[in-house]
Chain A
Amino acid sequence: MGELAVEKHVKFILTIEKEKDSFESVVMEHIRLNGAYWALTTLDILGKLNTVDQDEVVSWMMQCQHESGGFGGNIGHDPHLLYTLSAIQVLALFDKIDALDIDKVSNYIAGLQNNDGSFSGDMWGEIDTRFSCVAILSLALLKRLDKINVEKAVNYIVSCKNLDGGFGCTPGAESHAGQIFCCVAALAVTGSLHHVDKDLLGWWLCERQVKSGGLNGRPEKLPDVCYSWWVLSSLIMIDRVHWIDKEKLIKFILDCQDKENGGISDQPEDAVDVFHTYFGVAGLSLLEYPGLKAIDPAYALPVDVVNRIFFGR
């Protein structure tokens, strides 16, 4: 079996600005906060978070915050739940959540809950179970879950449960591993996993493993490294991870590395990016690959960071 090229991946993350004028760099501008979260969490899992200047990152990030309390994807961008979670997660990595006006941020998030319990991503009203997850994870990390109607939030998520035990983005939408992670994580964090048919969903999830050992996100689709996170963390949260072949999945992820230049891609031989690098490393951590920090499957943050928030001090 191959090895994880840790040094190369660290170098890749720290030097992605060398991609001069690439279209990928240009299009990432407005989601820079997500990019920061992926990059920094990967570094932390690899034990290299100290290679980054915390204060610079935090000071840039705080400039992404709006009057409303929400964070935009970069300076000058409108606030949205997605970037608000990334900001909270990055601050958590640095143990700087107290840099926030917690009430302000949590009020912003809580204000986006709708009457049916669902969440809009921002004031423009797009509804998706991704946003339920993001809102719930954010408020849990801020210890302000009491600001929303948790029962209604849970009921909305349950209304998105399908006949195969999985979840979609809205009621009736096709079960998709990404959406399933979002729903299961939200249910886990709110103590509502009893709504999940763990055996049925566990079976659907373990059927995502294809011959190559990789995981797909829906029946008859191609495997992709990011599903190593979405499917795997879901299986762990419902206590069914032993239903996949872990060795084969590890091999698949390792095969998706660019061992020369660093980084991990969606499939072997494809171009790498920071998104898939994060999910590949996080997936390997969940699979207990040696030398990596443990990661929490619901919060998608290192376990020591989560413990510090809920049990520290």
Chain B
Amino acid sequence: MDVLQKSSERIPLSQRPEYADVKPVPQDDGPNPIVPISYTDEFRETMDYFRAIYVADEQSHRALQLTTEAIKLNPGNYTVWQFRRLVLEALNADMNKELDFSDGIVEGNSKNYQIWHHRRWVAENLGTDASTRELEFTKKILSKDAKHYHAWSHRQWVLQALGGWKDELAYCELLLKDDIFNNSAWNQRYFVVTRSPLLGGLGAMRESEVTCTVNAIMEHPENESPWRYLRGLYRNDTQALVKDPQVASVCLKILTAKNNYVHALSMLLDLLCHGFQPSLEIRNAVYGLSDSGAQGSDLVKVVCSILELVDPMRANYWKWRRNMAPAQAAQCLKDDGLTGLSL
């Protein structure tokens, strides 16, 4: 029986025969507390009874029930959750039922570390059998908030500890179809591509991933995430990024369209600093964006000047890039093993 169906239907603990022998222990906040708290009567009574059971270390069914009620009143109370785990262990409780309980609590409380940690503990107890259920559970949370940090953290843990990688890339694609701006989904995509034991790793996946990413960029050039993802695909292999015609091509298209081109310019800047030889078309596209019609000058400096104007909040960053450019270019070439070649 759920004794907390409605506040008005709740039977006070003092009136429940099964708790008759429990002497409630009141909260001691000390005199004039610096951050003093006020309590409702229901909360006060539940916690007074919980404290009695906790202090007596009673690991019984009525103790479990008390933790249920205390958690429902305040799911952030980590001490109650911890005691609940001790009781669950002592009672050798059904862990699947515990997941059911957790399902019920999450509604309205999903940004709570305790709930997720408890879930992980329960799932760990169940082992790989829990994988499907936990992936479904996080999917449900993510369907309401697709960037939910705890849900993603739990999902990553489930995949690595309990398995279930098969459909993960497809799931990322689904989420990105829903919202191409979802940085969490891009992050998960990278997670899958680099860590899934079922895929070939970054090297094998790179080409197809670049194509998908470039398509996403074309859809919304102002979207920060795919640009970062693109750089991530070429981690430790910048020369391959510089040489990939898809990358140069997408920059050119966006610069020519003259719309939402900040990230494209930023990418071009990075390419140039790594020895990229811009085509005449790219040069002209850049000059076309510059008011001063700075033809023939150092393209890096022109790009930075434009960025200072169109992204004024980060003007200092772009100024710094402009000043760093010659030294940076030399260093990049050195890092990429191209010392000795002249630009």
Q: Are B79 and A242 in contact (CB under 8 A)?
A: no
A310 within 8 A of B: no
Closest to A33 in B: B35
**Interface hub of B37, B121, B184 (most chain A Cβ within 10 A):** B37
A236 within 8 A of B: no
Q: Which of these, B153, B231, B312, contacts A173 with CB under 8 Å?
A: B153
Once A32-B37, A274-B35 are accepted as A-B contacts, the answer to whether A75 and B314 lie under 8 Å apart by CB is: no
CA distance A80 to B195 in the complex (A): 32
Q: Are B314 and A244 in contact (CB under 8 A)?
A: yes
CA distance A31 to B34 in the complex (A): 13
Q: Are A17 and B38 in contact (CB under 8 A)?
A: yes
> CB-defined interface of A153-180 with B at 8 Å, one 1/0 digit per residue?
0000000001110001110111110000
Residues of A within 8 A of B194 (CB): 172
Chain A interface residue count, CB cutoff 8 Å, equals 65
Q: Are B77 and A30 in contact (CB under 8 A)?
A: yes
B18 within 8 A of A: no
Once A17-B36, A56-B31, A243-B320 are accepted as A-B contacts, the answer to whether A173 and B152 lie under 8 Å apart by CB is: yes
Closest to A28 in B: B37
CA distance A277 to B60 in the complex (A): 42
Closest to A249 in B: B313
Q: Which of B22-30, B205-213, B246-254 contacts A (4 or more CB under 8 A)?
A: B22-30
Total A-B pairs in contact (CB under 8 Å)?
A: 167
> CB-defined interface of B169-210 with A at 8 Å, one 1/0 digit per residue?
000000000000111100110110011000000000000000
B102 within 8 A of A: no
B235 within 8 A of A: yes
B78 within 8 A of A: yes
B76 within 8 A of A: yes
**Interface hub of B32, B43, B78, B149 (most chain A Cβ within 10 A):** B78
B277 within 8 A of A: no
B19 within 8 A of A: no
A220 within 8 A of B: yes
Residues of A within 8 A of B39 (CB): 21, 25-26, 29
Once A29-B77, A63-B30 are accepted as A-B contacts, the answer to whether A169 and B153 lie under 8 Å apart by CB is: yes
B82 within 8 A of A: yes
Residues of B within 8 A of A22 (CB): 38
- Chain A nearest CB from B37 CB (Å) reads 5
Report A1-47 residues with CB < 8 Å from chain B CB: 16-17, 19-22, 25-32, 35-36, 39-40
Q: Are A26 and B224 in contact (CB under 8 A)?
A: no
B225 within 8 A of A: yes
CA distance A72 to B117 in the complex (A): 17
B147 within 8 A of A: yes
- Chain A nearest CB from B163 CB (Å) reads 15
Report B138-155 residues with CB < 8 Å from chain A CB: 147, 149, 152-153
Residues of A within 8 A of B315 (CB): 245
A196 within 8 A of B: no
Residues of B within 8 A of A209 (CB): 313-314
Q: Are A35 and B35 in contact (CB under 8 A)?
A: yes
CA distance A78 to B82 in the complex (A): 8
B156 within 8 A of A: yes
Once A77-B79, A163-B231, A170-B156 are accepted as A-B contacts, the answer to whether A26 and B31 lie under 8 Å apart by CB is: no
Once A52-B34, A219-B224 are accepted as A-B contacts, the answer to whether A77 and B78 lie under 8 Å apart by CB is: yes
- Chain B nearest CB from A66 CB (Å) reads 11
Closest to B235 in A: A163
A218 within 8 A of B: yes
Q: Are B316 and A170 in contact (CB under 8 A)?
A: no
Q: Are B78 and A172 in contact (CB under 8 A)?
A: no
A124 within 8 A of B: yes
Residues of B within 8 A of A302 (CB): none
Residues of A within 8 A of B47 (CB): 29
B317 within 8 A of A: yes
CA distance A175 to B228 in the complex (A): 12
Q: Are B40 and A26 in contact (CB under 8 A)?
A: yes
Residues of B within 8 A of A21 (CB): 38-40
Closest to A246 in B: B316
CA distance A242 to B314 in the complex (A): 9
Residues of B within 8 A of A50 (CB): none
Residues of B within 8 A of A304 (CB): none
Q: Are A172 and B156 in contact (CB under 8 A)?
A: yes
Residues of A within 8 A of B228 (CB): 163-164, 204, 219
B323 within 8 A of A: no
- Chain B nearest CB from A61 CB (Å) reads 9
A251 within 8 A of B: no
> CB-defined interface of B203-236 with A at 8 Å, one 1/0 digit per residue?
0000000000000000000011100110110010
- Chain A nearest CB from B274 CB (Å) reads 14
- Chain B nearest CB from A167 CB (Å) reads 12
Once A52-B34, A78-B82 are accepted as A-B contacts, the answer to whether A218 and B147 lie under 8 Å apart by CB is: yes
CA distance A257 to B316 in the complex (A): 28
B101 within 8 A of A: no
Once A26-B43, A169-B153 are accepted as A-B contacts, the answer to whether A31 and B76 lie under 8 Å apart by CB is: yes
> CB-defined interface of A72-87 with B at 8 Å, one 1/0 digit per residue?
1111111010000000
CA distance A248 to B314 in the complex (A): 12
Residues of A within 8 A of B113 (CB): 126
| 5 contacting pairs across A/B (C-beta < 8 A) | A22-B38, A52-B34, A164-B231, A172-B191, A242-B316
List A residues at the B interface (Cβ < 8 Å). 16-17, 19-22, 25-32, 35-36, 39-40, 52-53, 56-57, 59-60, 63, 72-78, 80, 122, 124-126, 162-164, 168-170, 172-176, 202-204, 206-207, 209, 213, 218-221, 242-245, 248, 274
3 tightest Cβ-Cβ pairs between the two chains A and B:
A163-B232, A17-B36, A60-B30
List B residues at the A interface (Cβ < 8 Å). 27-40, 43, 47, 51, 54-55, 73-74, 76-79, 82, 85, 113, 117, 120-121, 147, 149, 152-153, 156-157, 181-184, 187-188, 190-191, 194-195, 223-225, 228-229, 231-232, 235, 312-317, 320
